[in-house]
Structure 1
Amino acid sequence: MGQFSVSTPALGYSASAMVGAVAQFDGHVSQISGVVTSIVGASWSGDAAEKFAESWAEWQTNAGLVRDALTDIAARVQGAETGYTMTEMQVTAASRSSTVGTRRQGGGTA
């Protein structure tokens, strides 16, 4: 079985980067939507415009699915960061409060 390690702070940075990527994605989609809306149906009409509008609606649906997936991944990474942070705190607290007795030769404890 392979081993892996996790940097808790790196999880936090990654989650923040993903949230930022979602915001950028939203901005780009909004910008593109504005351009398409200003052309299709306004200055462009006919069969080709209608076909494009259908494809555009499908694209928007798929863009929403991508956004949802990115948001879900970011939330899961944030959740992992929280989980690792809590585990680290519990392990640290347990190690500070535990005592280990040592035996001296002859049966006594130190």
Structure 2
Amino acid sequence: MKRITWVDFGKGITILFVVLGHVLTGMFNTPGYSNYNGITKTSIAIIFTFIMPVFFALSGYLYHPNNGIKNYGRNILKKAINLLFPYMIFSENYKNKLATCPKINTKYISTRKVHF
């Protein structure tokens, strides 16, 4: 399928806004930025109110159903490989980083074992 430039651009912008929202959330939880709480709360609310629906709408714009059970199974396998393999690699790397870097703040992070 041919790529649609404006959709790719829009998804990229929304991804950047999600990252910005998470950075602002981290800043909001840091004592050094207590003077900016009002600005940060408002920015986070604005970002997360419209960014995720826009991202899902852009992603849904590209959805097209596959015909046949053979294509469906192949599609599921492809999605599993594309999503689960990087997830497993990231989880293992992160688990190793937590084990070797004791000063990482795990207050908001679940360190449960990943079951496959």
TM over 0.5: no
TM-score under structure 1 length normalisation: 0.41
Higher relative contact order (CA 8 A, sep 6+): 1
TM-score under structure 2 length normalisation: 0.39
Radius of gyration: which is bigger?
A: 1
